Amino acid sequence: MIYQIYPRSFRDLNGDGIGDLAGITSELGHLAELGVDAVWLSPFYRSPQRDAGYDVSDYCDVDPLFGTLADFDAMMIRTQELGLRVIVDLVPNHCSDQHAAFQAALAAAPNSAERSMFIFRDGRGESGDLPPNNWESHFGGPAWTRTTDADGQPGQWYLHLFDSSQPDFDWDNPAVHAEFERVLRFWLDRGIAGFRVDVAHALVKAPGLPDWHGLANGNSSEGYPGEEAPMFGQPALHDIYRSWRLILAEYGPDRILCAEANVDPLPRLAHWVRPDEMHQAFNFPYLHAGLDLGPLRSVITESLESLDAVGAPSTWVLSNHDVVRHATRFGYDGHGPRDGDGIGTEDPQPDEELGRTRAAAATMFMLGLPGGAYLYQGEELGLPDGIDIPSALRQDPTFARTDGERLGRDGCRVPLPWRADQEHYGFGDGATPWLPQPESFARLSRDLQASSGTSHLALYRSMLALRRELDLGRGSLQWAEAWCTGSSLAYLNGNVLVVMNLNHEPLELPSGAILLRSSLDVQGNQRLLSPGQTAWLQIAAKPAE
Ligand code: BGC
């Protein structure tokens, strides 16, 4: 079980309103207590922070905002004491426009070695004033920006699948491969356990950079990159990951690569985790299935079939720093907000209690599944998204690039509440946190939940302890048809029956010891599973079909 730390929002020890590495070190004990095996840190590298650190200007240094390399090493020592492993984020598709290599490319002539690290092209049209193709940025607007030459004349264009401050590397160039091999080794030498690879499906682009007549940002109408999109999922990607796997293997058999490969359908995702490629790939189709039981069941079946075929575990996930937190998504009847769009005060509002109840049920359903699982910081507290964020404070480039039409991802990135009676709920005792914390954080802070036997946090601790004790991650799945009714879904993992009830009526549980239920505060008949809840039961024999 891997826990995602979003450093900007975890814990601010130096009082500047932004989280830091020393803050992480100071609170790691809580994560060990929670029962996580490893932590994954979102980027803390040198960066102008135009995309919250996913715009890296130096891959081998810590941004002063977060501390120093010595702080990183101190954090590593603490994780070792606690028996936690550390995975770091690698951002190989693009860097920051302030990266020395891109600055050198801007200063150099067209077709120079410096420019060939990136994707520079002449524009279309007589005077080259049209972008080289029709691709769009994932954050809105065109995926190309025109440069200005030293003499002040308009120059070539460069490609950026994300913000204009995030130029894409050209992975057809061996020098780019060599640079990233250096980066991999730099962090492996510092003792990390592996990498989460950012937009792993985007590094290689189709030859000739052809126009794309699907959604021009590469997505399909369902939101996933279209199978034929020229900017995603190109076959040559796989050789890159094979070569990285060999590098990791030099450091021991237990280093891992996890792909953020937002591709569909699932058999295609399985290509990322073939035996000589990455070890894991986030299962985003699972995240998107939400609580729609039909699609949820199909995604799980298909995931296990596709991934079993290549001998890889599935990697379940419900929240991260790019999507509305699941405690908020599940507070809507029907469909909540679209990925990356966020919720504002003008939008239909979620029902917080309903969301939190269903989030507990959904997490419990997920943590019973065989495979790996990722949790996102704060979900163990049942935190909702921040909704009341003034426009002036919104920092996700999506907000600016769409003129506020898409609010972006700030809502799920709000700094954590640690201690109810401290300033900024214990996130830091200095400057105001970089994003405002909702008032509900007073009730949801970690210290209050830690002292309650029935809190969301108490449930997470119990789930993680039981999952480990019963070794559910290494188990298998068989659907328990008798409890798959259309409004409930159930499976067996070994002799553990996992039942989720989304009906409006309570569900009578089968015989067997109730190991855990997603509401720890059960009144009345213990054998009834209330609406919006999940239970784990130990059963003696396979239940009747
Ligand atoms: C990361 C995002 C980031 C984007 C560009 C992603 O998928 O998770 O937070 O904005 O890559 O690096």
pLDDT tens digit sequence for 360-382: 999 999 999 999 999 999 999 99
Task: Tell the residue number behind the tokens 């520079």, with chain if given.
Answer: 120
Q: How far is CA 80 from the centre of its chain?
A: 24
What pLDDT is stored for residue 113 in this prediction? 98
Task: Tell the residue number behind the tokens 């929002």, with chain if given.
Answer: 9
What pLDDT is stored for residue 15 in this prediction? 97
- Gap between the Cα atoms of 497 and 22, Å rounded: 42
Residue 466 domain flag? no
What pLDDT is stored for residue 262 in this prediction? 85
Same domain, 314 and 228: yes
Task: Give CA torsion, residues 468, 470, 475, 479, to 10 deg.
Answer: -120
Task: Tell me, using a 6 A CB cutoff, whether residue 322 lines ligand 1.
Answer: yes
Give the model's confidence band at 172: pLDDT under 50 very low, under 70 low, under 90 confident, else very high: very high
Closest residue by Cα to atom 2, ligand 1, is 322
Summarised one tens digit per residue, pLDDT across range 129-153 is 999 999 999 998 999 999 999 899 9
Residue 468 domain flag? no
Give the model's confidence band at 350: pLDDT under 50 very low, under 70 low, under 90 confident, else very high: very high
Same domain, 427 and 521: no
Q: Tell me if 87 sits within 8 A of 194, measured CB to CB.
A: yes
DSSP code, position 345? T
What number is the average pLDDT over the span 391-401? 94
What pLDDT is stored for residue 391 in this prediction? 96
For 64-108, the DSSP string reads TTT--HHHHHHHHHHHHHHT-EEEEEE--SB--TTSHHHHHHHHS
Same domain, 51 and 155: no
Same domain, 177 and 216: yes
Summarised one tens digit per residue, pLDDT across range 330-348 is 999 876 777 668 999 999 9
For the chain, percent of residues with pLDDT exceeding 70: 98
Residue 544 domain flag? no
Same domain, 360 and 237: yes
| 93 CA distance to ligand 1 middle (Å) | 10
Closest residue by Cα to atom 12, ligand 1, is 54
Residue 464 domain flag? no
Give the model's confidence band at 541: pLDDT under 50 very low, under 70 low, under 90 confident, else very high: low
Identify which of 409, 411, 414 has the alpha carbon closest to the alpha carbon of residue 432. 414
Task: Tell me, using a 6 A CB cutoff, whether residue 203 lines ligand 1.
Answer: no
- Gap between the Cα atoms of 139 and 397, Å rounded: 7
Same domain, 487 and 408: no
Question: What amino acid positions are annotated as catalytic residues?
Answer: 198, 250
Residue 285 domain flag? yes
Summarised one tens digit per residue, pLDDT across range 449-493 is 999 999 999 999 999 999 999 999 999 999 999 999 999 999 999
First to last CA, the chain: 31
Same domain, 527 and 381: no
What number is the average pLDDT over the span 445-449? 98
Query: Last residue of some domain: 131, 159, 187?
Result: 159
Same domain, 275 and 233: yes
CATH code of residue 150: 3.90.400.10
Residue 131 domain flag? yes
What pLDDT is stored for residue 545 in this prediction? 52
What pLDDT is stored for residue 225 in this prediction? 76
Q: Which residues pair with 128 in a beta bridge?
A: none
Same domain, 84 and 199: yes
Residue 527 has pLDDT above 70, yes or no: yes
Closest residue by Cα to atom 7, ligand 1, is 199
Domain tally, the chain: 3
Task: Tell the residue number behind the tokens 């691709």, with chain if given.
Answer: 135
The helix/strand count (H/E) of the chain reads as: 14, 20
Same domain, 350 and 381: yes
Same domain, 191 and 292: yes
Give the predicted TM-score (pTM) of the model: 0.96
What pLDDT is stored for residue 213 in this prediction? 84
Task: Tell me, using a 6 A CB cutoff, whether residue 6 lines ligand 1.
Answer: no
Q: What are the E-state strand segments in 136-289? A: 144-148, 154-159, 194-197, 256-259, 280-281
CATH code of residue 489: 2.60.40.1180
Q: Which domain holds residue 149?
A: 100-159
Mutate to test the pocket of ligand 1, among 47, 199, 258 (most ligand atoms within 8 A of CB): 199
Same domain, 75 and 119: no
**Does an H or E element contain 166, and which?**
none
CATH code of residue 383: 3.20.20.80
What pLDDT is stored for residue 339 in this prediction? 67
Give the model's confidence band at 227: pLDDT under 50 very low, under 70 low, under 90 confident, else very high: confident
Residue 456 domain flag? no
- Gap between the Cα atoms of 295 and 286, Å rounded: 9
- Gap between the Cα atoms of 506 and 476, Å rounded: 27
Identify which of 190, 194, 196 has the alpha carbon closest to the alpha carbon of residue 253. 194
Residue 465 domain flag? no
Task: Tell me, using a 6 A CB cutoff, whether residue 55 lines ligand 1.
Answer: no
